Amino acid sequence: MNSDWLRPDWPAPASVRALSTTRHGGCSKGAWSSMNLGERCGDDPDDVRRNRERLARVLPAAPQWLSQVHGTRVARHPGEPGRAPEADALVAFEPGRICAVLSADCLPVVFCDRDGSRVAVAHAGWRGLAGGVLQATLDALDCDPATVIAWLGPAIGPEAYEVGAEVAAAFPDEFDRCFVPQGDRWLLDLYAVARLKLSAAGVPEVCGGGLCTWSDPGRFFSYRRDGLTGRMATLVWLEQP
């Protein structure tokens, strides 16, 4: 496993494993250098396949990938073999089922319950947050939110994420504190939005949330910064007993 890949600092049960990749450790070249795991961002498909194979070799099984659409649909792993469900979150209740999302500025959110019996991961950009992808993921976990722990992975930070009026209008007034005026635009704090959403849903413990993809080009891909770029993966699974 690459030494700079991220292990969440969160009080998850021993049966829960999670990680986020960085841009290091793969074979992609140019704008996608080097551990690009996204198939739909212009990279050489053979390089992406090799990168995914490298990742799979350090995991107990191959990840279940999604066809992400910035929506709120949650899929369950296992699904239909050989098919990437069109969804932006994934839940699993069985050991060895590796849930994965891709990101390059959007916020990956990992979930587990305190019993270590269920896990989930969500891809949450502003559209997904406004639409309710975190609540939908909690609903799909089918447990008391008070027993859930969440971890916020690397995303574009509040000093860099400039958005327009249509984004501000997508959130009710209680989220005004997450927006800082910047001329006729706003700086949006995705981490703060996620924390408010999770708190309102009854999740008592939310960890992470301090890494900015935009401001660290040596470590992270960032679509907002570079346009043509790769994708990182955030994964969670239950260990086999």
- Report percent pLDDT > 70 for the chain: 100
Domains and CATH numbers, the chain: 16-157+202-238 (3.60.140.10)
pLDDT band of 14, cuts 50, 70, 90: very high
Specify the range with the lowest mean pLDDT, choosing from 74-83, 122-131, 159-168: 74-83
Q: Under 8 Å CB-to-CB from 54, ≥6 apart: which residues?
A: 25, 26, 27, 35
Query: How does DSSP classify residue 144?
Result: -
Q: Could you give the maximum distance between any two Cα atoms of the chain, in Å? A: 55
Closest of 214, 224, 232, 215 to residue 33, by C-alpha: 232
Tell me the C-alpha distance between 157 and 132, whole Å: 20
- Edge-first strand order for the sheet with 185-188 is 162-163, 185-188, 179-182
pLDDT in tens, 141-175: 999 999 999 999 999 999 999 999 999 999 999 99
Is 145 within 8 Å of 202 (Cβ atoms)?
A: yes
CA torsion sign for 115, 190, 72, 36 is negative
| pLDDT band for position 2 (cuts 50, 70, 90) | confident
DSSP H helical segments within the chain, as ranges?
Answer: 45-57, 126-131, 133-141, 165-168, 190-200, 223-226
- Residue 92's contacts (CB-CB under 8 Å, 6 or more residues apart) are 76, 77, 78, 98, 99, 118, 119, 120, 237, 238
Compute the mean pLDDT over every residue in the chain, rounded to the nearest whole number: 97
Rounded to two decimals, what is the model's pTM? 0.98
Tell me: pLDDT of 193 over 90. yes
Q: Tell me, what's the pLDDT at 185?
A: 97
